[in-house]
């Protein structure tokens, strides 16, 4: 009698865990504010139950959105054949910022969690890999360890970010479309300035 009872409890825990994660994933796609009480309500469990499965909102959201993050290939699909880093960075910036805007509720919740409990694994670092891939053409013409290129990566990480987008919307008072356009233009300007000031070496013809 003990074994079936134990098995039943394990299965129930798995179902509850999946229900909470699924509810969080669904809410994250809406763009609305995402909170533990709202997730618990959608999962048909109590808030206390949700916290028994996940110690905080950030850990739950990380698991819930793991399968929703776009790849660099998706972000750069429109400029796949381009070797122009300015064009590629602009496309990457617009793609990422529109992704952030569509899911701003969960992104804002993750930012808040990062501020409260900072750490390298506190939230997905999607922008860093995307920026690196967008700047891939420069790898063949510049020293990847050059201070100037390193600084370009850092500057773009500041501009192509949810924080920058929300600053333009919340504090500067820009409409979302204008905020995205402003950030994209800044990212393109930074990349163009680097290319003009650091011509690098020419690619060898095959």
Number of domains observed in the structure of the chain: 2
Q: What is the DSSP string of 21-57?
A: HHHHHHHHTT-S---HHHHHHHHTS-HHHHHHH-SSH
Q: What is the CATH number of the domain that holds 26?
A: 1.10.10
Helix (H, G, I), strand (E, B) or coil at 175: coil
Residues 6+ apart with CB under 8 A from 68: 25, 28, 29, 103
Domain extent, residue 11, equals 2-64
pLDDT band at 186 (very low <50, low <70, confident <90, very high): very high
Tens of pLDDT, residue by residue over 64-106, are 888 778 888 999 999 999 999 999 999 999 999 999 999 999 9
User: Of 187, 185, 180, 163, which Cα lies nearest the Cα of 98?
Assistant: 180
pLDDT band at 190 (very low <50, low <70, confident <90, very high): very high
Q: Verify that 20 and 116 share a domain, yes or no.
A: no
User: Taking a C-beta distance cutoff of 8 angstroms, is the pair 25, 64 a contact?
Assistant: yes
204 part of a folded domain: no
Tens of pLDDT, residue by residue over 36-61, are 999 999 999 999 999 999 998 988 99
pLDDT band at 181 (very low <50, low <70, confident <90, very high): very high
Helix (H, G, I), strand (E, B) or coil at 126: helix
Q: Verify that 53 and 116 share a domain, yes or no.
A: no
Q: Is the pLDDT of residue 1 over 60?
A: no
User: Taking a C-beta distance cutoff of 8 angstroms, is the pair 40, 54 a contact?
Assistant: no
């Amino acid at each position: 009698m003990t074994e079936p009872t134990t098995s039943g409890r394990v299965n129930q825990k798995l179902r509850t865990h999946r229900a909470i994660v699924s509810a969080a994933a669904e809410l994250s796609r809406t763009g609305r504010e995402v909170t533990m009480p709202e997730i618990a309500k959608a999962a048909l469990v109590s808030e206390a139950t949700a916290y028994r499965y996940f110690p905080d909102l950030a850990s739950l959201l990380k698991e819930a959105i793991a399968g929703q993050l776009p790849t660099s290939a998706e972000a750069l699909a429109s400029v796949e054949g381009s070797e122009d880093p300015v064009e590629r960075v602009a496309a990457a910036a617009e793609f990422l910022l529109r992704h952030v805007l569509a899911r701003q509720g969960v992104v804002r919740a993750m930012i808040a969690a990062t501020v409260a409990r900072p750490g390298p694994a506190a939230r997905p670092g999607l922008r860093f890999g995307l920026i690196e891939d967008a700047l891939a053409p420069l790898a063949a013409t510049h020293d990847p360890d050059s201070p100037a290129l390193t600084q370009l990566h850092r500057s773009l990480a500041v501009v192509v970010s949810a924080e920058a987008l929300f600053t333009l919307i919340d504090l500067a008072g820009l409409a979302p479309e204008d905020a995205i356009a402003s950030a994209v233009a800044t990212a393109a300007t930074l990349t163009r300035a680097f290319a003009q000031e650091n011509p690098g070496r020419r690619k060898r013809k095959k």
